[in-house]
Amino acid sequence: MTDAFDLDAYFRRIGYGGPARPDLATLAALHARQVDAIPFESLDPLMGRPVRLDIASLQAKLVDSRRGGYCFEQNGLFKAALEAIGFTVAGLGGRVRWMSPPDAPLGPRSHMLLQVDLPEGPYLADVGFGGHLLDAPLRLEAGPEQTTPTGRYRLDRDGALLALKVMTGGDWRCAYVFNLEPQVHADYVAASWFTSTHPEVLFTSTLLAERLTERARCSLVNTRLTETPRGGTPSERLLASAAEFGAALEELFGVTPPAPVDQIFAKLTAGA
């Protein structure tokens, strides 16, 4: 295994057959294809398995296998693909606010996102925010509302930070805050180790999985599955057995789990 990025294998994995040019059309197409083809999932931290962020490991897991990953893996892979095409990309660090009260203190930089510089200006690209996957890059510009095929977004100034807001349930909800200070690989390794090992961090006790296809957004929190057709009404159900859980991973998320389904389901339902 080497650190050379296999762009052709990545294109096959996401089902992309278009041009490979460092322009906005290619960026948008790849962004939409990755969140469709490679699901967000946090099975490895949940099961106490290591999360490796080197290029060879990312390709082996997310490209060569039927697996997904969380933000450091998803956006690490996406950054490598964009750079292989010739895009100018900087990795940034975000502080997640998605499930925090508005007055809660800021947490650590536990999220990876990307700044992509184009002739049209800088864009925010993020294929790894598992609370609410984005289907398209956004202009890195505070103020105006931006609409994608699946959502409404805006970037607000929050002191020295930018805040990504998502319209959901009739209200603007903050996904995360960030600044434009570039992060290096070691920053992500440290943050990923914390988010995948600390006993009080969400990913070590809770399964999150999400996939955003042309037809629907599918979200799984432990055994609670929500399916939202594009332009439709969400439906929610609890997966009542290991067989149902395994079928959802296979059919809706396209994931081959890293441990027996019975073992994962038992961990999720322990004490329920």
Q: DSSP assignment, residue 63?
A: I
SS3 content of the chain, % helix, strand, coil (to 5): 30, 30, 40
d(C-alpha 262, C-alpha 23), whole Å: 45
Q: Which two tokens stand for residue 207?
A: 């399964």
Backbone phi, psi, residue 151, to 5° = -170, 175
111 is a catalytic site residue = yes
- Kindly state the tokens that stand for 42: 């946090």
Annotated catalytic residue: which of 36, 126, 135, 218?
Answer: 126
Q: Which residue in the list 6, 31, 111, 218 is annotated as catalytic?
A: 111
- Among 122, 119, 100, residue whose Cα is nearest residue 111: 100
The tokens 């599955």 sit on which residue? 225
CA distance 180 to 176: 13
Catalytically annotated residue among 6, 36, 44, 71: 71
- Residue 62 CB burial class (10 angstroms; 0-12, 13-18, ≥19): buried
Catalytic: 218?
A: no
In the residue annotation, 126 being an active-site residue is answered as yes
Transcribe 21-42 into DSSP letters. Answer: -SSHHHHHHHHHHHHHHS-EE-
**Residues identified as active-site:** 71, 111, 126
